[in-house]
Amino acid sequence: MSSMPNSLSLHDAVADAATGDVWLFRGKAVADRTIRLFTNSPVNHVGVVLALDDLPPLLWHAELGASMPNVWTGLRQRGTQLHHLNRAVSVWTHRYNQQPWFRQIDIAASDDMEDRALQVVAEYSGRGFPRTKTLAGHWIKGRMRRGVPLTDIYCAELVAITYERMGLLGTDRPANWYDPGRFWSGDRLELVGASLGNEVGVTDVPPPEDSWRDDADGTPA
């Protein structure tokens, strides 16, 4: 992985995106601050990039909102979603008032790793986002390394499962042990055969186009 600047325009960040990169977001809304306070995390949202063949880079994440169609299903739905990366960052920056960063992975994902990630997308796409009480229960049990059924799934849990299936994370901790802050550099996340670079701030993010923000609803989380 080449040395990265401290900040990069969205256009350049998307052009350089690779499967396994993580994107992190921090907002100012009450829900955002609550998540950070409860999890002692500097960020409140995380997603992972899938950059497949000649397709535009995609962001695989779980959110409370339904602002854009899920690329996998074609539907606007809350919960686990696959979005075009540039569109997702634009919506999260302007509609949800979030500050974005990304961390670049230092390996090239193999075809097998990407196939495993797509299997996670097929299995989990469209699953609901946990209610506050359920989310709190996931987090508390995760601190005790007790797994939970993931009928509803939180953003960090989704990234952890995707990384596990790709062989980038061990399975000694349940998915609910992870929160967005675990993917921030200060937490020293230990990957298997790979590492993530420092956070790169994203600048020059254009506002969402009307064609993919019409009928938007929901609030990020």
Domain 7-203 grouped into CATH 3.90.1720.10: yes
- Which one-letter DSSP state was computed for residue 110? P
Tokens of 34: 């609550």
Domain boundary assignment for the chain: 7-203
pTM here is 0.89
Residues 180, 56 contacting (CB under 8 angstroms): no
Rounded Cα–Cα distance for residues 127 and 183 (Å):
22
From CA 98, how far away is CA 109, in angstroms rounded? Answer: 28
In order along its 221 residues, the chain shows pLDDT tens digits of 456 779 999 999 999 999 999 999 999 887 777 777 767 779 999 999 999 998 999 999 999 888 899 999 999 989 999 999 999 999 999 999 999 999 999 999 999 999 999 999 999 999 988 777 777 788 788 777 788 888 899 999 999 999 999 999 999 999 999 999 999 997 889 999 999 999 999 999 999 875 444 444 433 43
Q: Give me 158's structure tokens.
A: 């989704």
Retrieve residue 83's tokens: 């979005």
User: In one letter, which amino acid is 74?
Assistant: G
Query: What is the residue whose two structure tokens read 């509609």?
Result: 95
Q: Residue 165 corresponds to which tokens in the numbers above?
A: 């299936």
* Structure-block tokens of residue 40: 């002692």
User: What digits encode the pLDDT tens for the residues 71-95?
Assistant: 999 999 899 999 999 999 999 999 9
- CB 105 within 8 Å of CB 20: yes
CA distance 179 to 115: 25
pLDDT digits (tens, 9 = 90+) for 147-167: 888 889 999 999 999 999 999
